[in-house]
Chain A
């Protein structure tokens, strides 16, 4: 058994850590959020220079390769700094499924330009009525000559504001909740019939809702085999959850550090508030919640590419439950122990609380994954 980081992971940790320390302080982040895109393109260029946009992408497409465990190292640092650039959408949700199921032509067209930092991607899978159910797809893909016409709506597409290409799921067959008949299509942003409503999320990340009205794509746009998209999507979402778990661990760690520091420095009644036992115990609980979360995040990253979907699902869902619970507990307790400061926009603590809360709402909340775990047991 060995829980230590590999050489690559140590390097990634060092590189990203230095980057966020030097360029992604809370004040830098505020400026980034206030900019025209709500994230920083120069920062993205730096990610590319450092090789971060090549992570998880095969070497034959100019990438660095690497496992989910490697990406989790980046995710954790990004969580600590509350990085808002669309890294999860582009690398995990976009490049991920292309690498898993894309054709050679698709991969060589898209992936090198992701590595170079030129392209943003997004997975447009969730729909206004799908909630967290992966097989719920109402968007239709009708065969038309050699092409497909896509019609439907996609909801809360992470990174959808900036994406140059969308990976859109649509039904070539079957009824709304059938596991079969779902296909994944590569759709460029500027295609006629695609309406994009971009917006910020309440935690500073960004998303979009899409409406597709007879969007024409060629048969070569199908990613993988038509009608068999769901396994690829499910695998991708599990990898994204593993990423989110690591990101959440970073956020929890930073929030605990802030809170502990506050307990030591804020004085009331002539003593640091950390002298009050009720707060001491709560802080101890928060540290335990973090460690439990960290353990499960490690497990999720380890199993995210498990060839047995069943094993993968169990581990990832278990981790998501733990992350949801730990994040909620740590977020709420941290705000409470900060008093009024905790709910102000100008203090970093509240932003971690918001991010942790929304991570629980992304790709299934703790209830959803508890049920999935129980069903998989």
Chain B
């Protein structure tokens, strides 16, 4: 047994770190580290940098312009970039629809869409959830009927992350109501600019605009925009969700936030003593750090297994649950650290380039909002209850 990275793996991590330090726009890095608002260009600028280095799609085979890396290098790449304060890669293209198209798409779709995902030309969003269909996704009701050369789509999607930036959406739609609910679902690729598509913002409790409702009113979608076969959408969606969950432990991001927590707790004073030196808070930080250590090693064990050819199974669900808990604990401690200055609401301070007078310490403004916002991580991508349901079946056979 050897718990350390090999020399090559360490060299690779150094290479990724050096790249991030050289190429990441310091202003963007500052926004990520300080929880400021990220604009479309912040994501795309970094995406293009990664693209020019050939590092956008670690999980794609090289034939399609991916890196073709093994699980360990993929992990190193993702974690080091997150630790360095790079914006997260917008997952919907690279990690979601990309792998689905590679596995199930037509040649024409692969040729057209994959390069545009790599270059950042297309911004995809995910149209799965509906008002009546969240955990019970298979009950979805958005309907598509074939009419000559087009599917005619009617219905509503919701919680669609960053749809306001997207020009394309991959959707699960019902094309056959007469069969078992999972078997009547089809996956369609829809241009957001098609007449009849309407995007409406949903504002979350931190006052931010990150999710949307997307309405489809007799939207005509070319027949060939189907993925694979009709009625197979559920299978593709399950394939896709297993990819969505694999990066979800977010160890690199958690390390970055832990570092920040320590910085803030060192700056905050309690009765003349830095907060980080008070017993209670120090032990709270220690507890989350230990959770994070365990999570990282669990993640690495699972990656090592994957590298040696064992398919990820229950592991992804565990990483999702434990990862979400660590992230939520960190946002909570960050908020606690600033004491009364968690209260003021100053959304202007999150805007890039804002140079007004902060209320309290400069780092305080986003912290309560981030805590509220991060309740989402145990809800989206399959809630933690659903993950536990899956584990009790798949892991325990209950």
Contact = CB atoms under 8 A, between A and B. Distances in A.
A205 B343 CA distance: 9
The majority secondary structure among interface residues of chain A is: mixed
B388 interface: yes
A345 B205 contact: yes
Q: Which of B136, B207, B269, B379 has the most CB of A within 10 A?
A: B379
Contact of B205 (A199, A270, A343, A367): A343
A138 to B, nearest CB: 12
Given A177-B271, A357-B371, A358-B342, A268 B378 contact: no
Contact of B340 (A205, A339, A362): A362
Interface stretch (A83-91, A97-105, A126-134, A141-149): A126-134
A156 B359 CA distance: 9
Given A345-B203, A362-B343, A354 B372 contact: yes
Interface string A186-214: 00000000000101111101010100000
B330 to A, nearest CB: 15
B383 A344 contact: no
A234 to B, nearest CB: 15
Interface string B342-361: 11111000000000010110
B368 interface: yes
B375 interface: yes
A96 interface: no
B271 A361 contact: no
Interface string B163-204: 000000000000000000000000000000000000000111
Given A126-B340, A155-B341, A358-B343, A336 B129 contact: no
The majority secondary structure among interface residues of chain B is: mixed
A371 B373 contact: no
Interface size class of B (residues with CB under 8 A): 35 or more
B364 to A, nearest CB: 10
A365 interface: yes
A359 to B, nearest CB: 10
21 contacts: A126-B340, A129-B269, A131-B268, A131-B339, A131-B340, A132-B340, A133-B270, A155-B340, A177-B272, A200-B344, A202-B342, A202-B345, A202-B372, A203-B343, A205-B343, A270-B139, A340-B159, A343-B375, A358-B342, A361-B336, A362-B343
Given A202-B344, A336-B383, A344-B205, 17 more contacts: A128-B360, A136-B271, A155-B341, A176-B272, A202-B369, A203-B343, A205-B343, A209-B359, A268-B136, A269-B136, A336-B385, A340-B129, A340-B159, A343-B372, A343-B375, A345-B204, A361-B340
Interface of A: 126, 128-129, 131-133, 136, 155-156, 176-177, 197, 199-203, 205, 207, 209, 268-270, 276, 278-279, 332, 335-336, 339-340, 342-346, 350-351, 353-354, 357-358, 361-362, 365, 367, 370-371
